[in-house]
Structure 1
Amino acid sequence: MHNLRRNTAFTLLQAVEGAPTLSNLSRLAAESANRLALIKPLIPRPLQGLVQAGPLEEGSWCLLVPNSAAAAKLRQMAPSLIEVLRARGHAVEKLRIKILSHPGAMGGRR
């Protein structure tokens, strides 16, 4: 018997939407990016290009930064950033700031 094979091409978006776990991860990543877009104008200009949207969990959101100085500044700003997010309808109880462990992770110099 010949094994029949369907030659149907799928886009990445179709594959993601067809898999519930991938679809949920895609939705969370988009939501995280949307939140960063909301607060980015509040972040000091020199840091704006360094901050990345991180994992989003129920009630908690994480921002990724390359160094401790950036992390310290964002930690100072956390209450006002949370306030803005809440005002826009996002249920954020905690904003976590994580320093990326290796310098090349954000395209920085070594």
Structure 2
Amino acid sequence: MKSVFRSNIFSLEQAVGAAPHLAVLTQRIRVSQGYLDDVQHLIPAALRRHIKAGPLDEGAWCLLVSNAAVSTKLRQLLPTLQRTLTQNGAQVNSIRIKVQMRPTS
């Protein structure tokens, strides 16, 4: 007996392709990660594991950091990061830093 559900199984890529909003979101995530990849070499190696690519919205890019100390150091690098992104053709008008608070258990 054939499964009724078998014909309705979609891969994640198919689901994203079928939903325009998800496709746009997926593209923004890829671009944001690409921006981080482009500036990774400018960030001290000890800080890299504490920084994640965050939301990208209308020219404003957000970097998510694990703590305030990383945020402070990264703020010093913002002009260099933005200049590098602009030189590489990125449409980034501003970079924000957001400290991600760890959930307490």
CA RMSD of aligned residues (A): 1.9
Residue number in structure 2 paired with 1:35? 35
Structure 1 distance, partners of 2:19, 2:103, is 33
- Equivalences for residues 1-110 of structure 1 within 5 A: 7-102=7-102
TM-score, normalisation: structure 1 = 0.86
Would you say the 8 A contact 1:61–1:96 is kept in 2? yes
Task: Give the letter for the 1:74 counterpart.
Answer: L
Please say which of residues 47-56 and 7-16 is displaced more in the overlay: 7-16
**What is the deviation of 1:6?**
7.2
Give CA-to-partner distance per residue, 1:58-109, whole Å, 9 cap, x none. Answer: 11100000111100111110000000000010011110000002268xxxxx
**What is the deviation of 1:9?**
2.6
Gapped runs of 5+ residues in structure 1? 105-109
Structure 1 distance, partners of 2:78, 2:16, is 33
Structure 1 distance, partners of 2:6, 2:103, is 45
Runs of 4+ aligned residues of structure 1 deviating over 3 Å after TM superposition are none
Would you say the 8 A contact 1:66–1:103 is kept in 2? no
TM-score, normalisation: structure 2 = 0.89
Residue number in structure 2 paired with 1:107? none
Give CA-to-partner distance per residue, 1:15-47, whole Å, 9 cap, x none. Answer: 101100100100000000100000111100000
Paired residue secondary structure (1:102): coil
Structure 1 distance, partners of 2:21, 2:88, is 27
Task: Give the letter for the 2:101 counterpart.
Answer: S
Gapped runs of 5+ residues in structure 2? none
**What is the deviation of 1:53?**
0.2
Structure 1 distance, partners of 2:79, 2:16, is 35
